[in-house]
Amino acid sequence: PVTEDLMIGHLRDVEQFPTILSGDLKSDDGPGSDSRSDNCYAVVTSMANDTSAVLDGLVITGGSGARGSGLSCYGSAPKIVDCTFTDNIAFGYNWHSESDEGDGGAVYNLGGSPVFERCRFENNRADSDGGAVWSCDYAELTLSQCTFVGNIARGRGGAVGGSLCDI
């Protein structure tokens, strides 16, 4: 039965009982798998949201797209708290061009102001820039008490990178 204690958000244990948002639509990805043609482009998309949009205590994994495969943030200011971004890949289709494809393995922030608190970014990959996070186009990115482990970019910023932005 649902009790009052279960309904109070601060009593939940996100490590013992994770809520997983996965882009692995067929549940066929193994660790380090590159066969992701059936995965979703971005697990979460935030477009023109204000600070009242909150992601709290989620595991976001298995995204596979051109940019921001875990979270694509366009002109938004969401708050992301105690979330884990793991095993997301941004594939680059125009590696030697000025295109932003392949940027932000876990997060791509275009002109937004997202705030990340106590988040973990682990084993994300970008074929271009920003293995975990890429921020651009006059964006403001806040990362507070976040952890970055094993993120890789072929270009700039293995963990975090940006262009024309404040980080």
**Could you tell me how many residues make up the chain?**
167
The amino acid at residue 4 is E
In this predicted structure, what is the pLDDT of residue 119? 98
Q: Assess whether pLDDT exceeds 80 at residue 9.
A: no
Q: Beta partners for 44?
A: 71
Contact of 96 with 133, CB cutoff 8 Å: no
pTM reported for the whole predicted model: 0.87
**Digit-coded pLDDT (tens) for 81-113:** 999 999 999 987 654 455 658 999 999 999 999
Q: How distant is the alpha carbon of residue 94 from its chain centre?
A: 21
* pLDDT for residue 32: 60
Query: Do the Cβ atoms of 31 and 62 come closer than 8 Å?
Result: no
- Mean pLDDT lowest among 3-7, 28-32, 80-84: 3-7
Model confidence over 49-82: pLDDT tens digits?
999 999 999 999 999 999 999 999 999 999 999 9
CB 40 within 8 A of CB 71: no
Sheet arrangement for strand 79-81:
54-56, 79-81, 115-117, 142-144
DSSP codes of every residue in 101-159: TTB-SSEEEES---EEES-EEES-EESSS-SSEEEEEEEE-EEES-EEES-EESSS-SS
- How far is the C-alpha of 101 from the C-alpha of 163, rounded, in Å? 14
